[in-house]
Structure 1
Amino acid sequence: MKALVIPAALLATLTAATVARADVQTPISSGQAVSQGSSGGSQSSQCGFIASTPNEVVRVTGENASLRFTLQSEGQPTLLIQGPGGRNQCVLADSYSGGNIEVPGVWEQGTYSVFVGDRTQSSHPYTLTIVQEN
Protein backbone atom coordinates (compact mmCIF):
# COMPACT_ATOMS: atom_id res chain seq x y z
CA MET A 1 0.00 0.00 0.00
CA LYS A 2 1.28 3.50 -0.85
CA ALA A 3 1.52 6.32 1.65
CA LEU A 4 2.45 9.97 1.45
CA VAL A 5 3.44 12.11 4.39
CA ILE A 6 2.99 15.86 3.92
CA PRO A 7 5.12 18.08 6.20
CA ALA A 8 3.70 19.61 9.36
CA ALA A 9 4.04 23.09 7.81
CA LEU A 10 1.21 22.17 5.46
CA LEU A 11 -1.03 20.78 8.17
CA ALA A 12 -2.54 24.19 8.91
CA THR A 13 -3.88 24.44 5.35
CA LEU A 14 -5.31 20.94 5.15
CA THR A 15 -8.64 19.46 6.11
CA ALA A 16 -9.47 15.80 6.65
CA ALA A 17 -10.34 13.71 3.62
CA THR A 18 -9.65 10.23 2.35
CA VAL A 19 -7.50 9.78 -0.72
CA ALA A 20 -8.36 6.80 -2.92
CA ARG A 21 -5.78 4.00 -3.09
CA ALA A 22 -3.42 5.54 -0.55
CA ASP A 23 -2.74 5.39 3.14
CA VAL A 24 -2.19 9.07 3.90
CA GLN A 25 -0.77 9.74 7.36
CA THR A 26 -1.53 13.46 7.18
CA PRO A 27 -4.99 14.24 5.78
CA ILE A 28 -5.02 15.79 2.32
CA SER A 29 -7.99 17.88 1.24
CA SER A 30 -9.42 16.52 -2.03
CA GLY A 31 -6.22 14.55 -2.70
CA GLN A 32 -3.94 17.57 -2.60
CA ALA A 33 -1.83 19.72 -0.28
CA VAL A 34 -1.19 23.41 -0.91
CA SER A 35 1.52 25.58 0.64
CA GLN A 36 2.50 29.20 0.13
CA GLY A 37 5.71 31.06 0.83
CA SER A 38 8.48 33.15 -0.70
CA SER A 39 10.75 31.84 -3.43
CA GLY A 40 14.50 32.20 -3.62
CA GLY A 41 17.23 32.45 -1.05
CA SER A 42 20.88 33.30 -0.62
CA GLN A 43 22.35 29.89 -1.46
CA SER A 44 23.51 29.48 -5.06
CA SER A 45 22.70 26.06 -6.57
CA GLN A 46 22.51 24.36 -9.95
CA CYS A 47 18.84 25.35 -9.81
CA GLY A 48 19.12 29.07 -9.11
CA PHE A 49 19.14 30.69 -5.70
CA ILE A 50 17.45 28.65 -2.96
CA ALA A 51 17.04 28.77 0.80
CA SER A 52 19.46 26.81 2.98
CA THR A 53 16.62 24.55 4.14
CA PRO A 54 13.88 22.98 1.99
CA ASN A 55 10.58 24.77 1.57
CA GLU A 56 8.84 21.41 1.92
CA VAL A 57 9.78 17.82 2.75
CA VAL A 58 7.67 15.01 1.30
CA ARG A 59 8.09 11.43 2.47
CA VAL A 60 6.77 8.62 0.28
CA THR A 61 6.41 5.57 2.51
CA GLY A 62 5.03 3.08 -0.03
CA GLU A 63 6.70 1.49 -3.04
CA ASN A 64 5.61 4.16 -5.53
CA ALA A 65 3.34 7.18 -5.47
CA SER A 66 1.91 9.05 -8.42
CA LEU A 67 2.41 12.72 -7.54
CA ARG A 68 2.19 15.99 -9.42
CA PHE A 69 4.08 19.04 -8.12
CA THR A 70 2.74 22.35 -9.48
CA LEU A 71 4.44 25.66 -8.70
CA GLN A 72 2.95 29.07 -9.47
CA SER A 73 5.13 32.14 -8.93
CA GLU A 74 6.26 35.40 -10.47
CA GLY A 75 9.84 36.19 -11.45
CA GLN A 76 12.01 33.36 -12.75
CA PRO A 77 11.06 30.48 -10.44
CA THR A 78 12.84 27.16 -10.18
CA LEU A 79 11.84 23.92 -8.50
CA LEU A 80 14.57 21.65 -7.12
CA ILE A 81 13.51 18.23 -5.85
CA GLN A 82 16.26 16.29 -4.09
CA GLY A 83 15.38 12.62 -3.73
CA PRO A 84 16.71 9.39 -2.33
CA GLY A 85 20.10 8.23 -3.50
CA GLY A 86 21.30 11.76 -4.24
CA ARG A 87 19.02 12.17 -7.26
CA ASN A 88 18.22 15.80 -8.05
CA GLN A 89 15.62 17.15 -10.44
CA CYS A 90 15.74 20.83 -11.40
CA VAL A 91 12.92 22.41 -13.40
CA LEU A 92 12.99 26.02 -14.59
CA ALA A 93 9.97 28.06 -15.63
CA ASP A 94 10.18 29.22 -19.23
CA SER A 95 8.62 32.15 -21.07
CA TYR A 96 5.80 29.92 -22.35
CA SER A 97 4.65 28.71 -18.93
CA GLY A 98 3.85 32.11 -17.41
CA GLY A 99 5.94 31.33 -14.32
CA ASN A 100 4.30 27.95 -13.74
CA ILE A 101 6.20 24.70 -13.27
CA GLU A 102 4.62 21.24 -13.37
CA VAL A 103 6.45 18.03 -12.46
CA PRO A 104 4.37 14.84 -12.68
CA GLY A 105 5.72 11.39 -12.05
CA VAL A 106 5.82 8.17 -10.14
CA TRP A 107 7.97 8.71 -7.07
CA GLU A 108 9.69 5.83 -5.33
CA GLN A 109 9.84 5.35 -1.60
CA GLY A 110 11.97 7.86 0.26
CA THR A 111 12.26 11.44 1.44
CA TYR A 112 12.20 14.35 -1.02
CA SER A 113 13.43 17.85 -0.16
CA VAL A 114 11.65 20.48 -2.24
CA PHE A 115 13.26 23.90 -2.79
CA VAL A 116 11.43 26.80 -4.46
CA GLY A 117 14.15 28.99 -5.96
CA ASP A 118 14.61 31.90 -8.31
CA ARG A 119 17.24 32.32 -11.05
CA THR A 120 17.85 36.02 -10.24
CA GLN A 121 18.13 35.83 -6.43
CA SER A 122 14.78 37.61 -6.18
CA SER A 123 11.99 36.65 -3.81
CA HIS A 124 8.37 36.30 -4.93
CA PRO A 125 5.24 34.81 -3.38
CA TYR A 126 4.57 31.25 -4.57
CA THR A 127 1.92 28.57 -4.32
CA LEU A 128 3.06 24.94 -4.38
CA THR A 129 0.43 22.28 -4.92
CA ILE A 130 1.18 18.57 -4.46
CA VAL A 131 -1.51 16.30 -5.86
CA GLN A 132 -1.69 12.57 -5.30
CA GLU A 133 -3.09 11.07 -8.48
CA ASN A 134 -4.78 7.71 -8.99
Structure 2
Amino acid sequence: MTVSLSEAVAQQIIERARSQAQAQGFAVCVGVVDEAGLLRGFLRMDDAVPGAIDVSIKKARTAALFRTDSLELGAEAQPGGAIYTLEATNGGLISFGGGIVLRDDQGKAAGAVGVAGATVEADQAIALHAAGRE
Protein backbone atom coordinates (compact mmCIF):
# COMPACT_ATOMS: atom_id res chain seq x y z
CA MET A 1 0.00 0.00 0.00
CA THR A 2 1.30 3.46 -0.87
CA VAL A 3 1.27 5.96 1.97
CA SER A 4 0.56 9.51 0.85
CA LEU A 5 1.01 12.87 2.48
CA SER A 6 -1.87 15.19 1.56
CA GLU A 7 -1.48 18.87 0.78
CA ALA A 8 -3.51 19.74 3.88
CA VAL A 9 -1.31 17.65 6.16
CA ALA A 10 1.87 19.11 4.64
CA GLN A 11 0.55 22.63 5.24
CA GLN A 12 -0.36 21.80 8.87
CA ILE A 13 3.17 20.55 9.48
CA ILE A 14 4.64 23.69 7.93
CA GLU A 15 2.38 25.90 10.05
CA ARG A 16 3.38 24.12 13.27
CA ALA A 17 7.04 24.64 12.39
CA ARG A 18 6.50 28.28 11.43
CA SER A 19 4.61 29.04 14.63
CA GLN A 20 7.22 27.35 16.83
CA ALA A 21 10.13 29.07 15.07
CA GLN A 22 8.44 32.46 15.30
CA ALA A 23 7.74 31.97 19.02
CA GLN A 24 11.45 31.26 19.55
CA GLY A 25 12.57 34.23 17.46
CA PHE A 26 13.94 32.24 14.52
CA ALA A 27 13.39 32.67 10.78
CA VAL A 28 13.67 29.22 9.21
CA CYS A 29 13.00 27.26 6.07
CA VAL A 30 10.71 24.25 6.29
CA GLY A 31 10.57 21.50 3.70
CA VAL A 32 8.07 18.65 3.69
CA VAL A 33 8.72 15.67 1.42
CA ASP A 34 6.76 12.51 0.65
CA GLU A 35 8.00 8.98 1.30
CA ALA A 36 10.11 9.09 -1.89
CA GLY A 37 11.84 12.30 -0.82
CA LEU A 38 9.96 14.49 -3.32
CA LEU A 39 8.99 17.98 -2.21
CA ARG A 40 5.37 18.24 -1.02
CA GLY A 41 5.45 21.65 0.68
CA PHE A 42 7.89 24.42 1.51
CA LEU A 43 8.11 27.69 3.45
CA ARG A 44 10.90 30.23 3.65
CA MET A 45 10.07 32.61 6.49
CA ASP A 46 10.86 36.28 6.05
CA ASP A 47 14.54 36.92 6.85
CA ALA A 48 15.53 33.23 6.68
CA VAL A 49 19.00 32.90 5.20
CA PRO A 50 19.04 31.67 1.59
CA GLY A 51 21.40 28.79 2.38
CA ALA A 52 18.75 27.25 4.63
CA ILE A 53 16.48 26.56 1.63
CA ASP A 54 18.56 23.68 0.29
CA VAL A 55 19.56 22.46 3.75
CA SER A 56 15.95 22.14 4.96
CA ILE A 57 14.94 20.13 1.91
CA LYS A 58 18.02 17.89 2.13
CA LYS A 59 17.36 17.21 5.82
CA ALA A 60 13.81 16.14 4.96
CA ARG A 61 14.98 14.02 2.00
CA THR A 62 17.61 12.31 4.15
CA ALA A 63 15.03 11.33 6.77
CA ALA A 64 12.50 10.17 4.17
CA LEU A 65 14.89 8.17 2.01
CA PHE A 66 16.38 6.27 4.94
CA ARG A 67 13.24 6.25 7.15
CA THR A 68 15.46 7.54 9.97
CA ASP A 69 15.76 11.00 11.53
CA SER A 70 18.78 12.88 10.16
CA LEU A 71 20.29 13.28 13.65
CA GLU A 72 20.34 9.49 14.14
CA LEU A 73 22.05 8.96 10.78
CA GLY A 74 24.64 11.58 11.67
CA ALA A 75 26.07 9.46 14.46
CA GLU A 76 27.18 6.82 11.94
CA ALA A 77 28.05 9.23 9.12
CA GLN A 78 31.07 10.69 10.91
CA PRO A 79 34.61 9.84 9.76
CA GLY A 80 35.22 6.20 10.67
CA GLY A 81 31.49 5.53 10.98
CA ALA A 82 29.72 2.69 9.24
CA ILE A 83 28.01 5.02 6.74
CA TYR A 84 30.70 7.68 6.36
CA THR A 85 30.20 9.58 3.04
CA LEU A 86 26.45 8.86 3.04
CA GLU A 87 25.92 12.60 2.52
CA ALA A 88 27.50 12.30 -0.93
CA THR A 89 24.76 9.93 -2.14
CA ASN A 90 21.29 10.60 -3.55
CA GLY A 91 22.17 14.05 -4.87
CA GLY A 92 23.42 15.24 -1.49
CA LEU A 93 22.06 14.56 1.96
CA ILE A 94 22.37 16.13 5.41
CA SER A 95 23.19 14.05 8.48
CA PHE A 96 22.70 16.43 11.37
CA GLY A 97 19.62 17.44 13.34
CA GLY A 98 16.47 18.88 11.78
CA GLY A 99 15.17 16.10 9.52
CA ILE A 100 12.31 14.13 11.09
CA VAL A 101 10.43 11.14 9.66
CA LEU A 102 6.65 11.54 9.44
CA ARG A 103 4.67 8.37 10.11
CA ASP A 104 1.06 7.44 9.43
CA ASP A 105 -1.30 5.89 12.00
CA GLN A 106 0.14 2.43 11.28
CA GLY A 107 3.72 3.59 11.83
CA LYS A 108 4.69 3.56 8.15
CA ALA A 109 6.91 6.35 6.87
CA ALA A 110 4.75 8.87 5.02
CA GLY A 111 7.51 11.40 4.38
CA ALA A 112 9.61 13.80 6.42
CA VAL A 113 9.98 17.39 7.52
CA GLY A 114 13.24 19.32 7.45
CA VAL A 115 13.96 22.58 9.26
CA ALA A 116 17.01 24.80 8.79
CA GLY A 117 17.99 28.34 9.63
CA ALA A 118 18.16 28.36 13.43
CA THR A 119 20.76 26.52 15.53
CA VAL A 120 21.02 22.79 14.87
CA GLU A 121 19.44 22.12 18.27
CA ALA A 122 16.56 24.53 17.56
CA ASP A 123 16.09 23.10 14.05
CA GLN A 124 15.73 19.65 15.62
CA ALA A 125 13.26 20.83 18.28
CA ILE A 126 11.16 22.77 15.76
CA ALA A 127 11.06 19.79 13.38
CA LEU A 128 10.05 17.44 16.20
CA HIS A 129 7.26 19.86 17.16
CA ALA A 130 6.12 20.13 13.53
CA ALA A 131 6.00 16.33 13.29
CA GLY A 132 4.05 16.07 16.54
CA ARG A 133 6.87 14.14 18.21
CA GLU A 134 7.97 16.53 20.96
**TM-score, normalising length from structure 2?**
0.28
Instruction: Give the strand-richer structure, 1 or 2.
Output: 1
Specify the structure having the higher radius of gyration (Cα).
1
Instruction: Give the helix-richer structure, 1 or 2.
Output: 2
